[in-house]
């Protein structure tokens, strides 16, 4: 029996209609699927309903994959694909498998020779880089930095040194309720002329992308980023 295809389905970056950030062919593909691997079943059903799925929500097959999923459970999640069903992989927001537990499932699917199709949709990382004015030719994404203040400051100085050495934009994110702590840590740890861009609520009505040097940021009113999804980018 032929394997099904694993579709990687982007999700809007906030509470907006899917059609505002997903092309019509992507929405059409989503509506054809009946099997999904999702981070949270409740929010996934809300997204699929908004996307216009023709299936009754109770008839959709949703399996959860999140940070609590054990590695030995991944094979079970691939079972519908082995049975010939196409499957959609969703994260809570943005592109699945990027800073997302879905990466483990994609790796296993690659290992088992399953066809994988990434669909077009919003990526907060690339959107932030596009609008930052920083180096879009040479960059690196580091996910979440350490939460403890001392370790975070040490990591920031290391990233700044690497950025200066390689002329490389350093990109990272933080849990939204700790955004202000991250912003303050950057201003304290980094050199005055290091450039820092903060991208907040991308693709949403309150979207903001601003780049200043650390020294300039210190003279400005801090950006309103608390509890708002944000991406941080620096270039030394």
Show the domains of the chain with their CATH numbers. Answer: 6-118 (3.40.1010.10), 124-235 (3.30.950.10)
Burial class (CB in 10 A: 0-12, 13-18, 19+), 159: buried
The pLDDT of residue 106: 97
Write out the chain's pLDDT in tens, 236 residues. 689 999 999 999 998 999 999 999 999 999 999 999 999 999 999 999 999 998 888 889 999 999 889 988 899 999 999 999 999 999 999 999 998 999 999 999 999 999 999 999 999 999 999 999 999 999 999 999 999 999 999 999 999 999 999 999 999 999 999 999 999 999 999 999 999 999 999 999 999 999 999 999 999 999 999 999 999 999 99
The pLDDT of residue 120: 95
The pLDDT of residue 76: 94
The pLDDT of residue 1: 64
The pLDDT of residue 194: 98
Whole-prediction pTM: 0.92
Residue 86 in contact with residue 7, Cβ under 8 Å? Answer: yes
């Amino acid at each position: 029996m032929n394997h099904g295809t694993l579709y990687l389905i982007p999700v809007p970056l906030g509470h907006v209609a899917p059609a505002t950030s997903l092309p019509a062919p992507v929405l059409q593909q989503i509506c054809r699927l009946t099997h999904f691997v999702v981070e949270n079943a409740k929010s996934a059903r809300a997204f699929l309903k908004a996307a216009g799925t023709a299936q009754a929500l109770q008839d959709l097959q949703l399996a959860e994959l999140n940070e609590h999923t054990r590695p030995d459970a991944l094979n079970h999640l691939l079972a519908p694909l082995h049975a010939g069903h196409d499957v959609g992989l969703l994260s809570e927001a943005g592109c699945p498998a990027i800073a997302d537990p879905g990466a483990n499932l994609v790796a296993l699917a690659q290992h088992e020779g399953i066809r994988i199709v990434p669909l077009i949709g919003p990526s907060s990382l690339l959107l932030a880089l596009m609008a930052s004015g920083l180096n879009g030719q040479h960059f690196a994404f580091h996910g979440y930095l350490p939460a403890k203040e001392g370790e975070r400051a040490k990591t920031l100085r290391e990233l700044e040194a690497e950025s200066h050495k390689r002329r490389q934009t350093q990109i990272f994110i933080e849990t939204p309720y700790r955004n202000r702590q991250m912003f303050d840590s950057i201003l304290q740890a980094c050199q005055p002329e290091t450039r820092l861009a903060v991208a907040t609520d991308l693709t949403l009505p309150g979207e903001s992308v601003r780049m200043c040097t650390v020294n300039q940021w210190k003279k400005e009113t801090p950006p309103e980023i608390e509890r708002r999804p944000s991406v941080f980018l620096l270039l030394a």
